[in-house]
């Protein structure tokens, strides 16, 4: 008979839960959910050995256990500290933790460039979210920041080391998902960097998952770089019968164009599990299946993470009543905000309000009347865009 695991009671931010012995404080806090769960920049529950590098998950242990209720003298990394029976932990209820976390963010940002406006990760960057939640408005750092040349590691991945926070997640992906690791953390201290020896290409069926686990924009998808801002794309869940991986993905579309393919993520920003197994996806699905007909579309992705990528994509979203036309005596808002007379940022012949579906790259490249014809593209006031769907994607429900 399998040995029954002992359950430990742990109280985090005044909420008590029960978890199996051997559970970390971080995973116990995730069980409670919401803001009680500390942020984690290096821990990744699907990668063995990850955690303990970034210190963003620090918590205060106010009572060690029922047997020894003394507080722990220093803040501890919740991803590396196991719960004890009767432990009392403070996360957002601790001034000390919030102060330390602000310090950690400041530390992480010492060398990180503030290039969010041009970074592909903007909108789904854990450091950006952490900065908004715990960062300070100014910097005290006066020295020159570290900078590196961008490096193509293989045909599909670009490393921009300047943005790396040395979380080690990508090295764990290479160790645990691919059959050969050719990159790693080189040097120490100020000189530490992720690199491959002699820029050896990372070429392996599952290497693309490094892009998904990278919490910042240090590892980016070369097939998607600078194609679009992520919040302008429409994420849809899709699947295919893949002989190599689970084949369950998110397509980040613009109209009918598949701009990017990623694994599906859970509310903690980690790859989703299916039947207890992480849903890593293979490079073939990620980089080579960029046509909508390659996939069976399941429907609009429900973005579980609190992030700008969920912008305008919340199910059941109720838009406030549009008042502008009423207060402007019937003048449409687009006339108020029409900037074509002062800027041709978009070609003047493109009138987004006039086309019956979402704009596509074609719209801005000499065909101002082109629009996306995916059935999941619903234009407010016009409804589902059914026209042409059958001819463009037979797999769309």
Residues near ligand FES (CB under 6 A): 40-43, 51-57, 77, 79
Q: Is 216 in the site for ligand SF4 (CB under 6 A)?
A: yes
The distance of closest approach from Cβ of residue 392 to ligand FES in the complex, given in angstroms and rounded to an integer, is 43
Task: List the interface residues with ligand SF4, window 160-179 (CB under 6 A).
Answer: 164-170
Q: Is 194 in the site for ligand SF4 (CB under 6 A)?
A: yes
The distance of closest approach from Cβ of residue 38 to ligand FES in the complex, given in angstroms and rounded to an integer, is 8
Alpha-carbon gap, residue 182 to 179, rounded angstroms: 10
- Those residues with Cβ within 8 angstroms of residue 324's Cβ, 6 or more apart along the chain or in another chain: 331, 332, 333, 336
Closer to ligand FES by Cβ: residue 56 or 393: 56
51 binds, among ligand SF4, ligand FES, none (CB under 5 to 8 A by kind): ligand FES
Q: Which of 109, 125, 213, 292 binds ligand SF4 (CB under 6 A)?
A: 213
Closer to ligand FES by Cβ: residue 104 or 258: 104
Closer to ligand FES by Cβ: residue 173 or 292: 173
The distance of closest approach from Cβ of residue 24 to ligand FES in the complex, given in angstroms and rounded to an integer, is 9
Closer to ligand SF4 by Cβ: residue 210 or 246: 210
The distance of closest approach from Cβ of residue 166 to ligand FES in the complex, given in angstroms and rounded to an integer, is 11
43 binds, among ligand SF4, ligand FES, none (CB under 5 to 8 A by kind): ligand FES
Q: What is the CA radius of gyration of the chain?
A: 24
Pairing of strands 157-159, 277-278: unpaired
Q: Is 105 in the site for ligand SF4 (CB under 6 A)?
A: no
Closer to ligand FES by Cβ: residue 58 or 303: 58
Helix axes 95-108, 126-134, angle to 10 degrees: 130
Alpha-carbon gap, residue 204 to 208, rounded angstroms: 8
**Adjacency order of strands within the sheet including 76-77:** 15-20, 7-12, 87-90, 58-63, 76-77
Nearest to 53 by CA among 256, 156, 149, 194: 194
Q: Is 214 in the site for ligand SF4 (CB under 6 A)?
A: yes
Closer to ligand SF4 by Cβ: residue 125 or 359: 125
Q: Is 263 in the site for ligand SF4 (CB under 6 A)?
A: no
Q: Is 218 in the site for ligand SF4 (CB under 6 A)?
A: yes
- Those residues with Cβ within 8 angstroms of residue 22's Cβ, 6 or more apart along the chain or in another chain: 5, 82
How many residues lie near ligand SF4 (CB under 6 A)?
14
Half-sphere exposure of 299 (CA within 13 A, CB side): 3
CB neighbours of residue 324 within 10 Å: 13
Q: Which stretch binds ligand SF4 (CB under 6 A): 8-16, 207-215, 277-285, 355-363?
A: 207-215
Closer to ligand FES by Cβ: residue 40 or 238: 40
219 binds, among ligand FES, ligand SF4, none (CB under 5 to 8 A by kind): ligand SF4
The distance of closest approach from Cβ of residue 267 to ligand FES in the complex, given in angstroms and rounded to an integer, is 16
The distance of closest approach from Cβ of residue 126 to ligand FES in the complex, given in angstroms and rounded to an integer, is 10
Vertex 95, ends 90 and 101: CA angle to 5°? 85
- Those residues with Cβ within 8 angstroms of residue 358's Cβ, 6 or more apart along the chain or in another chain: 234, 254, 255, 371, 372, 377, 379
Vertex 378, ends 247 and 262: CA angle to 5°? 25
Q: Is 375 in the site for ligand SF4 (CB under 6 A)?
A: no
The conformation of residue 163, written as its DSSP 8-state character, comes to G
Vertex 308, ends 303 and 314: CA angle to 5°? 40
Nearest to 379 by CA among 312, 329, 328, 333: 312
214 binds, among ligand SF4, ligand FES, none (CB under 5 to 8 A by kind): ligand SF4
41 binds, among ligand FES, ligand SF4, none (CB under 5 to 8 A by kind): ligand FES
Q: Scanning the structure block, which residue is given the tokens 């990508």?
A: 170
- Residues lying near ligand SF4 in the complex (CB under 6 A) are found at 164-170, 194, 213-216, 218-219
């Amino acid at each position: 008979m399998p040995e029954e695991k002992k359950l430990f009671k742990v109280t985090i931010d005044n909420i008590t839960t029960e978890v199996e012995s051997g559970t970390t404080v971080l995973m116990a806090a995730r069980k409670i959910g919401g803001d009680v769960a500390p942020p984690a920049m290096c821990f990744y529950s699907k990668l063995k050995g990850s955690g303990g590098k970034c210190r963003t998950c620090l918590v205060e242990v106010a009572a060690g256990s029922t047997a020894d209720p003394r507080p722990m003298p220093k803040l501890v990394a919740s991803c590396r500290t196991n719960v004890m029976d009767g432990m009392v932990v403070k996360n957002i209820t601790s001034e000390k933790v919030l102060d330390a976390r602000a310090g950690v963010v400041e530390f992480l940002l010492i060398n990180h460039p503030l290039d969010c406006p041009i970074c592909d990760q903007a909108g789904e960057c854990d450091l950006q979210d952490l900065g908004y939640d715990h960062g300070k408005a100014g910097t005290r750092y006066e020295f020159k920041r570290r900078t590196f040349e961008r490096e193509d590691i293989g045909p599909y991945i670009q490393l921009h080391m300047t943005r790396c926070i040395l979380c080690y997640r990508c090295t764990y992906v290479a160790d645990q998902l691919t059959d050969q690791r050719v990159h790693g953390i080189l040097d120490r201290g100020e000189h530490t960097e992720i690199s491959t020896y002699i820029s050896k290409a990372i070429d392996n069926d599952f290497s693309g998952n490094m892009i998904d686990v990278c919490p910042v924009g240090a590892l980016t998808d070369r097939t998607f770089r600078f194609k679009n801002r992520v919040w302008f794309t429409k994420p849809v869940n899709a699947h295919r019968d893949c002989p190599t991986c689970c084949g369950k993905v998110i397509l980040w579309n613009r109209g009918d164009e598949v701009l990017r393919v990623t694994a599906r993520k859970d509310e903690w920003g980690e790859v989703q599990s299916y039947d207890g197994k992480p849903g890593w996806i293979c490079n073939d699905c990620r980089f080579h299946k960029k046509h909508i007909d390659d996939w069976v579309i399941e429907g609009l992705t429900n973005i579980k993470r609190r992030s700008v990528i969920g912008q305008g994509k919340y199910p059941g979203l109720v838009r406030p009543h549009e008042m502008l036309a009423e207060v402007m005596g019937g003048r449409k808002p687009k006339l108020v905000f029409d900037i074509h007379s002062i800027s041709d940022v978009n070609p003047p012949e493109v009138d987004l309000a006039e086309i019956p579906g979402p704009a596509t790259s074609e719209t801005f490249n000499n065909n101002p009347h082109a629009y996306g014809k995916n059935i999941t593209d619903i234009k407010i006031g016009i409804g589902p865009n059914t026209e042409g769907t059958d001819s463009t994607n037979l797999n769309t429900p």
